[in-house]
Amino acid sequence: MLEIRRRSYGGGMEFRYLGNSGLKISEITYGNWLTHGSQLENEAAAACVRAALDHGISTFDTADVYANTTAESVLGEALKGERREGLEIFTKVYWPTGPGGKNDTGLSRKHIMESINGSLTRLQTDYVDLYQAHRYDHETPLEETMQAFADVVRQGKALYIGVSEWTADQIRAGHALARDLGIQLISSQPQYSMLWRVIEGEVVPVCEELGLSQIVWSPIAQGVLTGKYRPGEAPPAGSRATDDKGGARMISGFMRDDILERVQRLQPIADGAGLTMAQLAVAWVLQNDNVAAALVGASRPEQVKENVKAAGVRLDADAMAAIDDALDEVVVRDPSMTAENAPKSRVA
């Protein structure tokens, strides 16, 4: 059974062990999906990374597919000169990259072995701390995938293995193979927020049993939980809901008036806790004992400064209950949504 272990090193940031491993990561982790290489110029992206480092974040998550490999390059450049041993750098493999050829996607041995080399070059590092299967590949035998990951680990190119948006059954099967191969599968990276709780029914119990923990993405529900989107009103100019590079599509499922109205009910709860609504949302996911880190992105350094204030926050039982009461009717809890939202075949 997994027990989340925490340790504070001062400065407000807390660190948690990732799964049953000895790897400590910052409970607020900086992610660069939809920002580096797409929404942000390189100089602005570097400023956000600097702000993350200045405020105690040591863990950085990216993927080869973000901005079609550019996000990794931007992050690698931004982290150049930092002490590598003091950082935890994560990336992922699965989605199409490069020209999108027939083998430029999936979790085949060919794609994994080529992709890790490309990621390391772009990130300007000899290894990543965590290499994650960005989705489950139904077209490649799981044995082939896990053997390739094992070889990546044995070559010293990755220290640990993780998965993203795998079902409970897929995680169990992958963990069994990893154990047989002598490598550590220690994490799951799913979407998780006050509004999207589909992992609680099946994924979290299996991960607790097997010794994996969650690195959750979209804890602020693409910005909806900040409260800036109001029912019956047009989205603010320049917000993610107006971004035609992918942001608007990703946030669309949360942009219903019934959801936005319920979210507004969180404001007095946040006020009572002395937090912004965004900080309340991040603090909420960190109350789950199986969550090791909340992934946060930023388009401005000030957003990083505000997000890290959720580190170390403990919400009391009354606040947690009030959040449930405020959102109850619009919360998605169906565990089948993990499989329903996953690709059934490779996208090329």
Tokens of 6: 């925490």
Q: Partners of 132 in the beta sheet? A: 92, 162
3-state helix, strand, coil in the chain (%, to 5): 45, 15, 40
Q: What Cα–Cα distance (Å) separates residue 265 from each residue in 227, 283, 308?
A: 9, 17, 23
Q: Partners of 131 in the beta sheet? A: 91, 161
CA separation for the pair 146, 171 (Å, rounded): 12
136 is catalytic: no
* Catalytic residue from among 17, 66, 131, 192: 66
| DSSP per-residue codes, 98-167 | TT--TTSSSS-HHHHHHHHHHHHHHHTSS-EEEEEESS--TTS-HHHHHHHHHHHHHTTSEEEEEESS--
Long-range contacts from 265-271, C-beta under 8 angstroms, 24+ separation: 265/326, 265/327, 266/194, 266/225, 266/227, 266/323, 266/326, 266/327, 267/227, 269/319, 269/322, 269/323, 269/326
- Say if residue 79 is exposed, middle or buried (CB neighbours under 10 Å; 0-12, 13-18, 19+): buried
- Say if residue 324 is exposed, middle or buried (CB neighbours under 10 Å; 0-12, 13-18, 19+): exposed
Is residue 185 helix, strand or coil? strand
- Catalytic positions, written as ranges: 66
